[in-house]
Amino acid sequence: MEARNLQKEITDLEAAQNIEILGIETLDGVLTRPIVETALDSLNDTLKQINLDDIAASVKKEIKEFAGSV
């Protein structure tokens, strides 16, 4: 199994999704490589299931509608 370059994965994910990953926290304060790998995989899976552009467009539309009614 090839070693993963986690820093590059984080940088690539941030660039591809236009997000910033501020931190990964654990209950016991111990951050191990498997925890980071699992967190990145989970975040990738979550981002694949949602469309941030659609959400942004929806929020923008709702704000315009709200501003027009005030």
Query: Which pLDDT does position 38 carry in this prediction?
Result: 92
CA–CA distances in Å: residue 20 to residues 10, 24, 62, 65: 9, 12, 25, 29
pLDDT, average across residues 61-67: 95
Q: Is 21 left (phi over 0), alpha (psi -120 to 50) or beta?
A: beta
- Taking only the tens place, the pLDDT of each residue in 9-63 is 989 999 998 888 878 877 888 888 898 999 999 999 998 898 888 999 999 999 9
Could you tell me the residue ranges of all domains in the chain?
A: 6-69
Q: Say how far apart CA 6 and CA 37 lie, in whole Å.
A: 7
